Structure 1
Amino acid sequence: MERVNWGIIGCGDVTEVKSGPAFNKVPNSKLIAVMRRDANKAKDYAIRHGVPKWFANADELINDPEVNAIYIATPPSSHVEYVLKAIQAKKPVYVEKPMSLNYTEGKRMVDAANANNIKLTVAHYRRAQPMFLKIKSLLDKSAIGDIRLVNLNLLQPQITDIIAQTATNWRIDPSISGGGLFHDLAPHQLDLMIYFFGAIESFYGMSTSVNKSSVDDVVTGQILFKNNVVFNGNWCFNVAAADALDCCEIYGTNGKISFPIFGHKITITQNGQTEIEETEPLTHVQQPMIAKVVDYFLGKADNPCTGETALETMKLIDKFTTK
């Protein structure tokens, strides 16, 4: 393979800006086909984005001989089906987060990829963005000393503006999303914690639905990492708009790093002095990750987020929301 010729399964709202255009902006990468069950919408997307092929059937895209890599951007309920079909067709896969409805489904995908020697990457794309690379660099060089404690709070009203807007809010249908907004947003946060702090020693959590709906709107979780870093996370999707909060605080022996997961500002406090660093918003938030995936698929770099790594996140999600 000299160039990655991408086919997108599920060219919906999330792919309009966040990911879709980036496939044509990365070296040695080209978006050549898209699929959506609504043929008219698939055709419209292809025309607007200059994509030469469109399909209303996933099997036709997967088996198109010109397509040599698959990006799966459907809701989580169909991830396992399409990943397994792509693996059967011997094509590498880049699948959206969360990788599946639950750990069991994710394990099926990882096992199939390993058994067939097919490359599988999960779109935990924030780990490739400049803001989080900067935080990782600060942690790696012990800029705030030895890390002791992490507190993360994501508090949002019932209608939040930090998710991609879609015609139907499938994110609060557990049969499609696996849960509620926690399942959509927490994978970004939990994956970053694994990226920053490594292997997990133990974890537990609890969740509830304040409105007695089918999805959790209050979740808490604790993680003890093997390096003795302690993580506390709180998620609530039923607060007053005035109380909305997106904040992660990392405490070390010599200071603190604070930042939003869905924002662009890093605050570094050391010895009573505070420094603020702003990062530029990305036009296509997945472009840095897609560049890494392309290099991986072409054999030029390591996997930027393996299926096994993503399974660790699925373990946490399942445990935190177990009744």
Structure 2
Amino acid sequence: MEKVSWGIIGCGVVAEVKSGPAFQNCKNSELFAVMRRNGKKAEDFARRHKVPYWYDNVEELLQDNRINAVYIATPPSSHLNYTLQAIEAGKHIYLEKPMALSVAEAEQIRNALKGRENKLTVAHYRRKLPAFLKVKELLAANRIGVVRFADVKILQSSEAKIIANTEENWRVDPEISGGGYFYDLAPHQLDLMFHYFGEIAEMRGFSKNQAKLYPANDIVQGIISFRSGIQFRGIWAFNISEKDNTDNCTIYGCKGQLSFSFFGDRVSLKSVAGNEDFHFKPIEHVQGPMIQATVEYFMDKNTNPCSVEEGLEVMKIMNAFR
């Protein structure tokens, strides 16, 4: 493979800025076609982003032999079906998070890949962003000593302004999203915890629909005991006062702590050796570094930046918490 020629399935809000342009900007990568069931919107996206071809049904896109990889950027309710079709069509896959509606669906995807040459990467793109790479580097350098526990708080009002706006708020319909705003945001936090701390020994959680503004639960909390002995606790609430909005993770060690936001650009280190802040410039197309790593993996130049097995582990955590 000399170049990864992409087709996007679902060119909506996320593909508009966060991911879509990155497929054109990455080395050895081109965005060849997009697909959306609304043909006028697919054509409009293609025209504005200078994409050569567009489709209004997934079968035609998958039959195009000029495309060797697809980005599935639809709501989770269609991830399983589109992924299985892409596997049968022989395409490599960059699959948006959460990778499916449920653990059972995620296992179907994993099983369908067995014995196939298709490669699949789950779009847990924060792994490749500079701020979170810095956190991993500081942990590896033992800057806060032996890690004891991590504490995550994602507290938002019912408007949930850190959620991408869409024409229809499908994220609060569990049949489409899998489980409300928690299912949309928690993969970012939980994948990083799994990425930093490794295998899980035990986990459990609780959830409730307190405000009853929509069908999904609006508060979720959970705890994890990692095999390394590191502990985790997290809470996601989408029913509080806007003035109390919080987006924070603090990792505590025996010699200090690391604190950072999942949607910010700063990492703070406090330790017995002194305090230090690390600042990072915002990335316009935020999935770009992960897409570049995925391209390199598809071309056999690097390892998988986030495997189907890792995506499945995150699904299991969300299921346990929900």
TM-score for the superposition, normalised by structure 1: 0.98
Q: How many residues align?
A: 321
Q: Distance in 2 between matches of 1:41 and 1:291?
A: 26
> How far did 1:47 drift?
0.4
Task: Name the structure 2 match of 1:172.
Answer: 172
Q: Distance in 2 between matches of 1:272 and 1:142?
A: 12
Secondary structure, counterpart of 2:163 in structure 1: coil
Question: Are 2:315 and 1:314 aligned?
Answer: yes
Q: Which runs of 4+ in 1 moved over 6 A?
A: none
Superposition map of 1:100-119 within 5 A: 100-119=100-119
Q: Distance in 1 between matches of 2:201 and 2:109?
A: 24
Q: Distance in 2 between matches of 1:269 and 1:29?
A: 40
Question: Are 2:177 and 1:152 aligned?
Answer: no
> How far did 1:293 drift?
0.2
TM-score for the superposition, normalised by structure 2: 0.98
Task: Name the structure 1 match of 2:130.
Answer: 130
> How far did 1:320 drift?
0.6
Secondary structure, counterpart of 2:17 in structure 1: helix
Q: Which amino acid aligns with 2:280?
A: T
Superposition map of 1:207-222 within 5 A: 207-212=207-212, 213-222=214-223
> How far did 1:239 drift?
0.5
Q: Distance in 1 between matches of 2:115 and 2:299?
A: 20
**What whole-Å deviation, never above 9, does each CA across 1:250-291 have from its counterpart, x for those lacking one?**
000110000011111111001173211111110100000000
Q: Distance in 2 between matches of 1:115 and 1:240?
A: 50
Secondary structure, counterpart of 1:269 in structure 2: strand
Secondary structure, counterpart of 1:30 in structure 2: strand
**What whole-Å deviation, never above 9, does each CA across 1:190-212 have from its counterpart, x for those lacking one?**
00001111111110001001024
Task: Name the structure 2 match of 1:3.
Answer: 3
Q: Which amino acid aligns with 2:243?
A: A
Q: Distance in 1 between matches of 2:207 and 2:62?
A: 38
Secondary structure, counterpart of 1:18 in structure 2: coil
Q: Which amino acid aligns with 1:211?
A: A
Q: Which amino acid aligns with 1:207?
A: S
Secondary structure, counterpart of 2:98 in structure 1: coil
> How far did 1:115 drift?
3.0
Secondary structure, counterpart of 1:309 in structure 2: helix
Task: Name the structure 2 match of 1:268.
Answer: 269
> How far did 1:302 drift?
0.4
In the alignment, is the contact (CA less than 8 A) between 2:211 and 2:239 conserved in 1? no
In the alignment, is the contact (CA less than 8 A) between 2:37 and 2:57 conserved in 1? yes
In the alignment, is the contact (CA less than 8 A) between 2:198 and 2:227 conserved in 1? yes
Q: Distance in 1 between matches of 2:172 and 2:62?
A: 29
In the alignment, is the contact (CA less than 8 A) between 1:110 and 1:120 conserved in 2? no
Q: Distance in 2 between matches of 1:73 and 1:22?
A: 14
The alignment's C-alpha RMSD in Å is 0.9
**What whole-Å deviation, never above 9, does each CA across 1:219-260 have from its counterpart, x for those lacking one?**
100001111000000110000011110110000011000001
Secondary structure, counterpart of 1:66 in structure 2: coil
Task: Name the structure 1 match of 2:280.
Answer: 279
> How far did 1:139 drift?
0.5
Unaligned runs of 5+ in 2: none
Unaligned runs of 5+ in 1: none
Question: Are 2:17 and 1:22 aligned?
Answer: no
Q: Distance in 2 between matches of 1:2 and 1:114?
A: 25
Identity score, percent? 50
